[in-house]
Amino acid sequence: MIKIKIVLAMILILGLCFSTVTAEPSVGTVTIDPTEPVLKSDVILTAEITDTDDISSVTLWIKECDEDTGLCDEPFSVDMTSTAVENEYTAEFTLKFNTATYFDYWFDVDADGNITTIEDDLYTVNYGAESSNNGPDDDTNDTPGFELIALFIALFAAIAIYKKKR
């Protein structure tokens, strides 16, 4: 009976010696520039990834969606680079989806060969007011073609008047 207790104690001690406790990575402060991006604009996202030491890579995933239709574009990923600030990573990307009104983002963190996906409640960024008009970039909403209707009416009127006089 004593031998079993000694073997169990040795197994417990060896288990404690060889087990390592590593903290799961988590996201601290996130900054987005611009804070309310517009369609097809360039965005810079900077995030603080904490609670881990040996991070070998951080991948940012972006999924653009249209709130009105409920459609989402395929998610795309961007490799983040480490900044001069400890535990801070940054990525620059261009928004692509033509009718998107917001985008969700999350992170894949590779620390010590273990990839952890951090998508606590899916981080969401709404687009700025300029994005909702779906018009040209100069915010005029002028649709080409309507002035042609007036031109055709004037042309047909001129032809009709010309034929009456003949």
| Strand order across the beta sheet in which 76-82 lies | 26-33, 42-50, 88-94, 76-82, 55-65, 102-111, 114-126
Looking at per-residue confidence, does 153 or 75 come out higher?
A: 75
Q: For 99-144, what is each residue's pLDDT tens digit? A: 888 889 999 888 877 778 877 656 778 887 654 444 444 444 455 5
Q: For 133-155, what is each residue's pLDDT tens digit? A: 444 444 444 555 666 677 678 77
Q: Classify domain 25-133 at the CATH superfamily level.
A: Immunoglobulins (2.60.40.10)
How many whole angstroms separate alpha carbon 126 and alpha carbon 90?
A: 20
Mean pLDDT for 31-51 is 87
Termini Cα distance of the chain: 126
Preceding peptide of 75 cis, ω within 30°:
no
Count CB-CB contacts under 10 A for residue 55.
18
Domain boundaries, the chain: 25-133
> What local confidence, expressed as pLDDT, does residue 94 receive?
92
